[in-house]
Amino acid sequence: MPFIIAIDGPAASGKGTIARALAAHFGFHHLDTGLLYRATGAKGGDPVAAALGLGPEDLGRDDLRSAAAGQAASRIAAIPEVRAALVDFQHRFAAQEPGAVLDGRDIGTVICPHAQVKLYVTASDDVRAARRAAELGADPAQMLAELRERDRRDTERATAPLRPAGDAVVLDTSTLSIDAAIADAIAAVARVRAEG
């Protein structure tokens, strides 16, 4: 049975960086599930048809890391039919040996509630806005407003809202360096693997 690490958290919390590092450290496959929603939103047209027709080439688009793609992803992620269309893809990915790391908004609560390790990565609003502004070369105040709007949509949606799983390890990266956050995450996974 593959070992699954589910990582959830809001935008710019560091979850993607941590997920990639964990996958590399343990030799697991990695999926940024947000790319599925970003690619679906970027395709335009009917979101459900776009989700059903999503292919590997769609995940390689250059514009998927833009703020506009993130906002589009958040809007279409609230559509239950879009989420349902992308669930099978995520389940198949998680079933790969020797293991998989999936990061997103509902991995530990909806997609992989049976994951052996669940992390909820978070950081303060101001820290997240500063990170995203630096990444995109944008205005921190504008990023703060956009992140708060996205957080509101993600936590208030009826289907699969953003929230930590009941058994998730919460990792607040507000005051941690990247190396320290990764080390804490590796330690959390190593503890569970040692117990297993």
The predicted structure's pLDDT at residue 49: 94
Question: Would you call 61 helix, strand, or coil by DSSP?
Answer: coil
The predicted structure's pLDDT at residue 133: 94
The predicted structure's pLDDT at residue 164: 96
Name which of 1, 18, 21, 3 is nearest 119 in CA terms: 18
Distance CA 66, CA 84 (A): 24
Distance CA 75, CA 154 (A): 9
- Using an 8 Å Cβ cutoff, are 117 and 7 in contact? no
- Using an 8 Å Cβ cutoff, are 29 and 126 in contact? no
The predicted structure's pLDDT at residue 107: 96
Name which of 108, 139, 137 is nearest 121 in CA terms: 108
Which residues in the chain land under pLDDT 50?
none
Torsion of CA 54, 57, 60, 63, to 10 degrees: -70
What one-character-per-residue DSSP string does 94-135 give? HT-SSEEEEEESSIIIII-TT-SEEEEEE--HHHHHHHHHHH
What's the structural domain count of the chain? 1
Range of the structural domain that residue 20 is part of: 3-195
CA distances from 23 to 9, 186, 196 (A): 17, 10, 19
Q: What is the CA radius of gyration of the chain?
A: 16
The predicted structure's pLDDT at residue 96: 92
Distance CA 43, CA 51 (A): 9
The predicted structure's pLDDT at residue 78: 84
Binding site listing? 9-17
Binding site listing for ATP? 9-17
Question: Would you call 175 helix, strand, or coil by DSSP?
Answer: coil
The predicted structure's pLDDT at residue 152: 93
CA distances from 56 to 51, 59, 84, 90 (A): 12, 5, 18, 13
CATH code, domain with 184: 3.40.50.300
